[in-house]
């Protein structure tokens, strides 16, 4: 998906900028306190991912925090993609024609 690549690129760019600055401070974010991404709805995962991207884009996070945020963001991106793929499969599975016959047309998101 194009969206996946754009989010991944934004996350990578933010961490790379942080690495170029070589600012390493004590780790200040306990990422283990975050809920498991598989338990999040698409909307919750996307909201958290958008927050992470915003934090990384500010450039204010220390290196370790930026790396942890990137890792969490990548998990969230994967969860969002999986939820969208599942929704697409459900839409494909429930399509029926006007006479009630099942159709196997692929989903077109355009």
* 3-state SS assignment for residue 102: strand
Q: Give residue 19's pLDDT.
A: 52
For residue 35, the model assigns a pLDDT of 79
Contact 69, 56 (CB under 8 A): yes
49 pairs with which residues across the strands? none
pLDDT tens digits for range 27-62:
444 455 677 999 999 999 999 999 999 999 999 999
pTM: 0.60
Neighbouring C-beta atoms of residue 63, cutoff 10 Å: 16
pLDDT in the model for residue 52: 95
Q: Which two tokens stand for residue 27?
A: 């780790």
User: How far from 91 is each of 2, 73, 75, 102, CA to CA, in Å?
Assistant: 20, 27, 24, 12
- Across residues 86-90, what is the average pLDDT? 82
Which burial class, exposed, middle or buried, applies to 57 when counting CB atoms under 10 A from its CB (0-12, 13-18, 19+)?
A: middle
What is the per-residue pLDDT for 86? 87
| 72-78 average pLDDT score | 95
Report the pLDDT averaged over residues 64-89. Answer: 92
pLDDT band for position 73 (cuts 50, 70, 90): very high
Q: Within the chain, where are the H helices?
A: 2-21, 42-58, 63-94
Q: Is the pLDDT of residue 70 over 90?
A: yes
């Amino acid at each position: 998906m194009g969206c996946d690549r754009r989010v991944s690129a934004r996350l990578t760019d933010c961490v790379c900028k942080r690495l170029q600055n070589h600012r390493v401070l004590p780790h200040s974010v306990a990422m283990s306190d975050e809920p498991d991404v598989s338990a999040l709805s698409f909307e919750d995962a996307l909201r958290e991912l958008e927050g992470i991207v915003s934090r990384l884009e500010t450039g204010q996070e220390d290196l370790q925090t930026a790396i942890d945020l990137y890792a969490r963001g990548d998990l969230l991106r994967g969860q969002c993609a999986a939820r969208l793929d599942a929704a697409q499969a459900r839409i494909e599975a429930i399509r029926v024609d006007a006479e009630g016959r099942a159709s196997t047309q692929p989903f077109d998101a355009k």
